[in-house]
Amino acid sequence: MELISAAAEAFSEKYTSPEGEVLYKLNRETHLKVELPHMLSGHVQGRFLQMVSHMIRPRRILELGTYTGYSAICLAAGLPEDGMLHTVDINEELETLCLQYFEASGYSDKIKMHIGKAAEVIDSLDEVFDLVFIDADKAGYVHYYDLVWEKLRPGGFILADNVLYHGQVLQPENEQGSQAKAMVRFCEKVLADDRAEQVLITLRDGLLLIRKK
């Protein structure tokens, strides 16, 4: 399902600050060499993530789902000198590509990449986070939300990607795939959580922005 028309996407990109050389090259290499390139945050969403990071000025960021590192680089842009972003992915085959572009971006000293299962890595981190970006396996979102909540400072933010899941969440329940159903369950969980306030942003494939009260 086309959520946003190609013309609107093109208009949005035209009036959004450009990616910059490193992100452009990473975007292109991902599309040329890596499976499922639609998983990349891309130009407009990447700039949005960067803008959010600049606004919050987080000292600690947790990202679940590195893929090729595009969103990590965008989020790292708002970190202060002593800031750190922990990014987690289960696919060790992409680690070399990620590290290459982290180095090229100039943020390699602020990004720590973890290869492994997200739940296990979250448990191992002795950190308090200002911002969490969830973009991992969709069936795990509910569990990851619970795991990161106690590690998120009061007033901190969670951003969850793909909550519209290609428009499938708008279909009748009996026509939704398992991933779309997982996104609906996640959104319902957050809606029912009186510890949080949230807004669903219809950017790209849907972002749920959550603030811990």
- pLDDT, tens digit (0-9, with 9 covering 90-100), for 172-204: 999 999 999 999 999 999 999 999 999 999 999
Provide the angle, in degrees to the nearest 10, between the axes of the packed helices 42-56 and 6-14.
50
pLDDT digit string, tens, across residues 26-43: 999 999 999 999 889 999
- Tokens linked to 72: 């990590």
Q: What is the pTM of this model?
A: 0.96
Q: What pLDDT is stored for residue 1 in this prediction?
A: 75
Average pLDDT over residues 45-67: 98
Q: What pLDDT is stored for residue 84 in this prediction?
A: 98
96 pLDDT tier (thresholds 50, 70, 90): very high
Average pLDDT over residues 112-120: 97
Which of 171, 168, 148 is closest to 160 using CA atoms?
Answer: 148
Residue type, 12: S
Average pLDDT over residues 10-39: 95
CATH classification code of 6-212: 3.40.50.150
